[in-house]
Amino acid sequence: MSAGVIIIAETCPYCRKGRSPLDFVRLTAMKICHSCYERHLKALEGLSSGQYLAGCSECDRSIEDIKAIQGGGDNGVRMVIHYENGIYRPMCVECDRTYVPKRADLYADTEFWKQRGL
């Protein structure tokens, strides 16, 4: 009889990826994986400095990839910030278009929702 390997994983509520229980930051009553927490901190830094340099929290594209898709130029990279359960989630415009309609629990009956025509 051979010994089996047991894999224990928890799902991050933000990126929905299975992670090792050791890969989570616990903040009072919530938990977040280190990757999402780092993005949150970079989003806070970007909001205060006006320059966000990390990637999209949905598709994991880098700023360089997003800039290439958006055409680059002198306008910089267009990103959208969503505040979800106490965490800032930066997203590229493409991911924002698909994310918002799925989050009626956050945005339904708001002016933002109405402006989007949802």
- Can you give the length of the chain in residues? 118
Let me know if residue 4 belongs to a domain: no
In whole angstroms, how large is the CA radius of gyration of the chain?
A: 17
Q: How far is CA 12 from the centre of its chain?
A: 11
pLDDT tens per residue, range 4-24 = 777 788 888 888 888 988 889
Number of structural domains (the chain) is 1
What is the extent of the structural domain holding 66?
A: 10-115
Let me know if residue 67 belongs to a domain: yes
pLDDT for residue 83: 86
Give the residue ranges of DSSP H helices in 50-110.
63-70, 93-102, 104-107
pLDDT tens per residue, range 29-43 = 788 899 888 888 888
Let me know if residue 5 belongs to a domain: no
Let me know if residue 24 belongs to a domain: yes
Let me know if residue 2 belongs to a domain: no
Let me know if residue 3 belongs to a domain: no
Question: Does the pLDDT value for residue 72 go beyond 70?
Answer: no
Nearby residues of 80 by Cβ (< 8 Å), 6 or more positions away: 90, 91, 92, 93, 96
